[in-house]
Chains A and B, each alone.
Chain A
Amino acid sequence: MIQFRNGFYADVRVEDRCRAVISYKAGTLEEMRSRRELQAFLRVYDGKLWYYASVTDVGHLQKTLDGLYAAAEENPDILEDPIVRRFEKNRDVLLSFEDHPVRNVPLSEKQALLLGYLPVLTEDPCVTMPVGMYLDRSSRYHFMSSLGADIEYDYQTCGLSFNFSMAEGEKKFQGFWQKGATRFDELAGVEDELRAAVKEQAEFMRNSVPVEAGQYPVVLSPQAAGVFAHESFGHKSESDFMLSDASMKDEWQIGKNVGSPILSIAEYGGIPGSGFVPYDDEGTKARKNYLIKNGVLAGRLHSAMTAAALDEELTGNARAVDCNFEPIVRMTTTYIEGGDLDFDELIAPIKKGYFIKTINHGSGMSTFTIAPSVAYEISDGKLGRPVQISVITGSVFETLGLIDGLTKDVELLSFVTGGCGKMEQVNLPVGFGGPYVRVSSMNVQ
């Protein structure tokens, strides 16, 4: 039992994390491991400085906490501190995956699942180096604070990830397909999806032509649109970037027009998937937040520190990538809300443009960049030849204003590899997605 002291704010986050990784390359077992890590991150705040420690010896948390107390200065008014006053005091047990814990599935069963899919990768002779991976993560968290918060909750993802080098003569392509889920049994029976993905990418390698660089209308798939929302605007909504410069709050006034009137971007940690964060790492309960609603700046993402500094409400976005780090403002699941078109209606008015179906990566500051993987021409309102595009770029705000069409259906994606990077904390699992999004003009290279 942790003994918290008066005159300080303190919290303790304990994570019991299990991970399994199985990997085959060219039909040979490369890796098979199951890891369990028990770690804790402790914070003490005295109203002036935060003191942090990370430990693997969770049997002696009190000793570490007492060490942090010794470094800090007692503050009898700590409960009146604007940061401390914002902390929620939730008490809850929310175990969403107790009836189907992936940590209890035998490693041999996970291996058999993966082995069943490997033959699909080599059906086309152009695949020269197939790599298949099974990955899962199951975490149980316990968060306690000196204010009385006491929360236990869990997190779970599992998935299959396939990379396949393809070569035919001088033509080369790095193929990729992934399936993420929150239940192990959801990973069964996806052979046809995998087969279709390999076939499409082989055809892309054989038939794609270099793009004619220039400004064109572009249609983004839910994957590309989700990454665009995450990179172009999600990071700008992380309000820790606003603390250093007081003028930022004027520049980013709620209510300001920042995009097309059909554009709404939402953020919510309660959505199952890789961005599932029912309570953040300060014990704040997840809630749906609009970043942009109908083209207008509607909100931003907060930790207690940033909410206090900007005098706004908590949003449930204080996250740490693991118990080696303190929570900072991060996204959970970020997505563009749907519109009123179907896909054919979306591309119908485009005389010449491009459809970005899958991407390698994306990033964004004032200018965003997306590196497409598979892309197609749009010609006279129809999909045409596959095209090689190294990057699409644009000014974030110009592009947000140039969104002029959205499909009705929204697809949210979960991945089990990669993740979001922010300074020292990389590969944080996040969810993202959206509808198919039409932008009237983007720079295509």
Chain B
Amino acid sequence: MSLKTTMHDLKMKYKGKKMAPAINAFHTFLFTPDETTHSGSHVRGADDLKRTMNTVIMALVPVLLFSVFNAGYQHFSAINGFPENFSLMEHFLTWDNAWIGIIKILPLLAVSYGVGLIVEFIFAVIKGHEVEEGYLVTGILVPLIVPIDTPLWMLAVAVVFGVVIGKEVFGGTGMNILNPALTIRAFLFFAYPTWMSGDKVWVHEARERSEAILAGATNVDAISGETILGYLAQNNEAAMAAKYSLSDMFFGFIPGSVGETPTFLILLGGLFLIFSKIASWRIMLSAVLGSLVMGLMFNQVVEMGWVTETSKFYGLMNFDFWKHLIVGGLAFGIVYMATDPVTGAQTNRGKWFYGFFIGFLSVMIRVFNPAYPEGVFLAILLMNVFAPTIDHYVVRGNVNKRLKRLKNAVVIPKDSDSAAKELKAETV
């Protein structure tokens, strides 16, 4: 008996039963179902939601692979210093580097998918709807936007919170107001701030070692990994510039959340998503513009002399406006988070406003945030909340156009046959 008939028999056996959604989830993972059209169009386009989500995952895989190596690279560089005459094969794509990534990032990925999908399956079975694909993307996004040493239990708690409160209470995929991955990130940030910010969380073992040293250990050296934005927030641009070059920032050989650093790969992923027509180029482009505008305004403020070197905002405000795009989570947020179609603006015109303000607010929060020099996830969540309002006004524009037209409406009363001739004279 072939797999196809086995699965079909299984589907028939559980049809109408409580476990049916769980069985169907596995079945439809293996096989596109044998469903045919009933009403309306008899033929349908080739894409379904699984394919759409899969395309986003494909755009994320290079970023994930890079992060696996970068985890080890940052770890060893923090201990031994960054290599001189950096060579990609010799210093980056090494087994030692990969191993750190494998033991640190794969568990994050496994917990994210495992816990998230269990919650999804439970809700699907309870509510009797199919297991929806939204979590396929959320599940890979989550490990990429947290610090590498995030404890697995912490991530599990956050995932449960994010999926239940961020999505399922609203009715599941397609109904949520906030991006689930960012809800998870926000939960972690506000619940466990010491694990999510500072200079001891971005590089593997940094926190562990500093705790050991505090406890009195003498056999380990302290390591730290401050992010670019962290240096800038301390007005320490010189130290940052000595350590990281512009190409380090662009290609991602810098500390940060697991997958946010490789701007180059994110750019490729973004282009792929635009080309495949899965993500909105309007949101991406306008978000880039928004961040550039805000960055330029800060640069201008410094140039005008309104903010001097003594100000605590000087370092971040003086940072060249376009460099905001290649450090921190801005590029990652714009390409993979802001473009979430469910939580973003849904009208084409609305997407321009929505994207612009994400870029604009990200840079603004990044500069002014007293707790932590980053704000992309806060900006996107804020705009998630405002997206329906933006859409409302865009749609009202269409409605108003219709109302304007209504003034010239030719309304002919019923049974007006005899009057048809006179009407003709009036309406010519």
A, B co-complexed: no
